[in-house]
Amino acid sequence: MTDFVFSEYVRAIKAVWKGKPKSDPHIITVLYSVISQTMELDGKGDYYIECSKSRASEIMNRHANPHEEIRRYSQEPLVRQEIVPFFEREIISELFPTKIQELRAVIADMIANSDIFPERKQALHALSSNGTLAQFLSEAYIEVLQRNNVEEPETAGKAAESESIRFPRLESVQPPDTPSADEHRYIDALMDAYGEDEGVEGFTVESLATHGKHKKHYDRMRQDYYAAESVNRGMRDAFAEWEDDEFRVFEEEIYEGVVDTYEDDYHNGMARLREVLKQASQVSVQRSWLSRDTDWIGAAQKKGVCHFLVNDGRLEGWVDKDE
């Protein structure tokens, strides 16, 4: 029986791709692109997030999950709005017409034999029977991104069970519609950077309504902030007996990893912000047990800590106001 995981979804798509056989990295990058382009998720250089050969090999051998930011942004309303037309344009048009029903049946069978919640399974089954192929494949894609693609050793047994009890799954905290009082300082720093970038004095959150590019960026920054806040709250709630504040250890490691990048010279605040966040996502966090004993720490949480550092005044905003 084939598991309903990302690697098997990719294999099913690849098997019915017409023309010259495409590589795993190509198929994965195409699937990533609806999310990376819609949410403007940058990869290396000036390109959107792509999948390298080595990473594709890890994914297809079930040693790794899809890119973390692709998974995290997959359920954004803007992605949901764009994903069906994208599948019609970029995926369905590239498949053998004679094999489309075969693909539908293969994906539907994976879902039927999976451990998805019954209500969700029923909704996907209804789409496989009554929806368009683009609707079904896109919804199955969003679902499969949330599932663990890494194959766990069968020997994990009770040890894995006890670890899952000791270190529960992190509950994600979503940004409220209206920013909290704790957010004002880092949001003010973002507004300064956006205003400098646009040549607009007094740029505010209300100004975002006419600056779509910065609105998308602002929304991502708040998501990152709350990804870090989720860790902060999760640590306090689940491990109240610990005397040391492990979140502060995590925060200190990020600060040490980005401060030199922050102090470099840049042509404007947006350039500084982007480079610092890029550096933060690459910082190796080793001193805190949060990174060793939980799966709570990823790129989003590391970038979110940078906004905590702005709130604390350790990073004094993004715009160099002394110039």
Region of residue 45 (phi > 0: left; psi between -120 and 50: alpha; otherwise: beta) = left
- The string of pLDDT tens digits covering residues 221-241 is 999 999 999 988 887 766 544
Whether the Cβ atoms of residue 6 and residue 66 lie closer than 8 Å to each other: yes
Higher per-residue pLDDT: 1 or 199: 199
pLDDT given at position 167: 55
pLDDT given at position 242: 46
pLDDT given at position 6: 96
pLDDT given at position 138: 96
pLDDT given at position 239: 55
Give the best-scoring range by mean pLDDT among 1-15, 128-142, 236-250.
128-142
In terms of Cα–Cα distance, which of 225, 320, 206 is closest to 270? 320
Taking the CB of residue 263, how many other CB atoms lie within 10 A of it? 10
* Per-residue pLDDT band at 3 (split at 50, 70, 90): confident
What's the rounded Cα separation, in Å, for the pair 288 and 290? 5
Confidence (pTM): 0.52
Mean pLDDT computed over 166-184 = 82
Report CA-CA distances (Å) from 246 to 159, 170, 182, 240, 294.
Answer: 24, 15, 20, 11, 12
* Per-residue pLDDT band at 158 (split at 50, 70, 90): very low
Mean pLDDT computed over 311-323 = 88
pLDDT given at position 287: 75
- The string of pLDDT tens digits covering residues 64-106 is 999 988 998 988 889 999 999 999 999 999 999 999 999 999 9
